[in-house]
Structure 1
Amino acid sequence: MRIGELAARSGLTASRIRFYEASGLISAVERGANNYREYTADAVMLLEIITSAQNAGFSLQEIRRLMPPRFDAWHHDELLDALRRKAAEIETLRERLAESLERLHAIIETIETKPEGLSCGDNAKRVMTRFRKQSEPAPKRRRTPARGRPRA
């Protein structure tokens, strides 16, 4: 099939398909006597896999490493490991985003509960002081031996 038909079947633009080809994500295609690119039927599924992987957060470099040279040559264990690593990365990101969201809600609440008569400038200082205190790591306690007891 030609690139126009592949674009219509995959929902991607011809330029995106050419980009994936130039990036090594889909193998070089045969050119007909008329010099048009000719793609196999597997190209549609391959493009769906690439698009799905990108939507799942994989970079093009990660996808390139995982793509087998042939459709029937997937490395099952490597693929599962990569999927598990990506899921863990996303979970870590989700936790960080949840913490950021919580901090933002606290800042919004602090701004909205401005004491009566407090100027905007003084309220900004109040908010930033509170924000800095929330962002500071808890001080580490230094262990000291109890009084009257000899050190070991």
Structure 2
Amino acid sequence: MMKIGDLAKITGLTTATIRFYESKGLLKSVGRKANGYREYPPEAISVLSIIINAQQTGFTLDEIKHVLPSDSIDWKHDDLVASLQKKLGEIETMEARLAQNKAHLLSLMGLIDSKPPEMACKDNAARIIDELKVPARKKLRVGDTDA
């Protein structure tokens, strides 16, 4: 058994963070000594490591709580794999969105950089704004086909 300060030193977390995880049900409630000190079992280090790593990969505390086993032999394999696959899908969606944002910014930078040397900045700004007004998808006019 170890005190919260020892657990904090080992994990690199603050005692307040450890107490927070405990209050959220991520870390099992611990016993207290007569003097009021919390005492944690050695497994608390592993649980906190899992929480830290899961947060670094984008899991919320609620998601972590859902898949975190009550003890090290009670892992729910299918739930864990499903959660990991779901998070991977969310990351891939975010990557696609970021790639679109990057392409848009590069396009905007290209518009800005293509300013003719003799053009005033005010006129260049108007030119860029006009370019940005072009809809991403042109509306069909009467008689146009969708093909």
- The alignment's TM-score, normalised by the length of structure 1, stands at 0.86
Where does the alignment leave 5 or more consecutive residues of structure 2 unmatched?
Answer: none
Residue in 1 aligned with 2:87?
Answer: 86
Instruction: Give me the whole-angstrom Cα distance separating, in 1, the residues matched to 2:121 and 2:145.
Output: 40
Q: How does 1:56-75 map to 2 (within 5 A)?
A: 56-75=57-76
Match of 2:114 in 1: 113
- Cα pair distance change 1:70/1:116, threshold 3 Å: same
Q: Which amino acid aligns with 1:30?
A: G
Q: Deviations over 1:83-113 (max 9, x none)?
A: 0110011011001101111110111111111
Q: How many residue pairs end up in the alignment?
A: 143
Shift, 1:118, TM fit? 2.0
Q: TM-score, with normalisation over the residues of structure 2?
A: 0.89
Relative to structure 1, is the Cα distance of residues 80 and 132 closer, same or farther in structure 2, using a 3 angstrom cutoff? farther
Amino acid at match of 1:42: E
Equivalence for 1:147: none
User: Any runs of at least 4 consecutive aligned residues in structure 1 with deviations exceeding 6 A, and if so which?
Assistant: none
- 2-structure distance, mates of 1:69, 1:137: 52
| Correspondence for 1:15 | 16
Q: C-alpha separation between the residues in 2 aligned to 1:138 and 1:88?
A: 31
Q: What do the CA deviations read for 1:32-85 (whole angstroms, capped 9, x no partner)?
A: 121100001000010010010000000111111111222221100100010011
User: 1:143: Cα distance to partner?
Assistant: 5.2
- Cα distance in structure 1, aligned partners of 2:120 and 2:37: 70
For 2:132 and 2:75, locate their aligned partners in 1 and report how far apart those are by CA, in whole Å. Answer: 49
- Distance in 2 of aligned mates of 1:56 and 1:124: 40
2-side partners of 1:83 and 1:127: how far apart?
43
State the identity as a percent: 40
Cα distance in 2 for residues equivalent to 1:64 and 1:9: 22
Root-mean-square deviation (Å)? 1.8
Give 2:55's aligned amino acid.
Q
Aligned residue number for residue 123 of structure 1: 124
